[in-house]
Amino acid sequence: MLMSRRSYARGNLIDPAPNQAQLATVLQAAMTVPDHGNIKPWRFIVVQGQGIQDLSLLVQDKYAGSMSEQHLNAFVREIASTPMMIFVCSNLVLEHHVPVLDQQMAGAAACEHILLAAHALGFAGIWHSLEADDGLHRLLNLKTEDSVLGVLSIGTPKRTSRAKRKSFTEFTQTWDRKHGLQEWSP
């Protein structure tokens, strides 16, 4: 299952999205990630149905004038056609002994688990980042120190395809004291 997961562009995602029971399974899977201190420094904001339409209008207003009209219209259409979006936001505990970076990485792992769980249930998705400005902070009720770790778009793929994968050997080295870093050799 892990080897067949791939990202699908928002424009390639159609209804149905996970139903409430499936969504509960997906979000519960995210709660199983490695989490230094077991503090669960994230929260999930699910947007679907009319919320997607409302969000696409907010995006259109926010980016009007900062990108070409053609690009903006395509971006807004892509968002408006997305069956479900899950914002994974940090909810940092600053006074905790667990470093902020560890807390953010736990939230990023929650993003990954959401996509894997959705894939296991037959859905597809993609992970986008989003710069959280003051307006988005207010809209999502984020604390100043928090951020959007991932915007996960989820639905059913129009067409399925296999992703071309690079070999892990291109990204892996071994190390020992005697030889230092060396290229991977099975």
Pairwise CA distance, residues 8 & 115, whole Å:
11
Lowest mean pLDDT among 53-62, 76-85, 128-137: 128-137
Residue positions counted in the chain: 186
Q: Is 128 annotated as a binding residue?
A: yes
CATH number of the domain located at residue range(s) 2-159 in this protein: 3.40.109.10
Give me the half-sphere count of Cα atoms (radius 13 Å) on the Cβ side of residue 73: 3
36 is in an annotated binding site: yes
* 71 annotated to bind ligand: no
170 three-class SS:
helix
Tell me if 5 is assigned to a ligand binding site.
yes
Cα 132 from Cα 135, distance rounded (Å): 8
Measured CA distances, 103 to 25, 31, 89 (Å): 23, 13, 11
CA distance 114 to 86: 9
Contact 128, 115 (CB under 8 A): no
Position 136 scores a pLDDT of 74
- pTM (2 d.p.): 0.90
Furthest C-alpha separation in the chain: 61
Half-sphere exposure of 70 (CA within 13 A, CB side): 0
Give per-residue pLDDT as tens, 148-157. Answer: 999 999 999 9
**165 labelled ligand-binding:** no
The verdict on whether residue 56 carries a ligand-binding annotation is no
**Parallel, antiparallel, or unpaired: how do β-strands 84-90 and 42-48 relate?**
antiparallel
| Domain boundaries along the sequence of the chain | 2-159
Structure tokens at 150: 């991932």
Is 7 labelled as part of a ligand binding site?
yes
Instruction: Could you list the beta-strand ranges (E) of 91-179.
Output: 124-128, 148-157, 173-176
Question: Band of the pLDDT at 44, cuts 50, 70, 90?
Answer: very high
pLDDT in tens, 103-136: 999 999 999 999 999 999 999 999 998 765 677 7
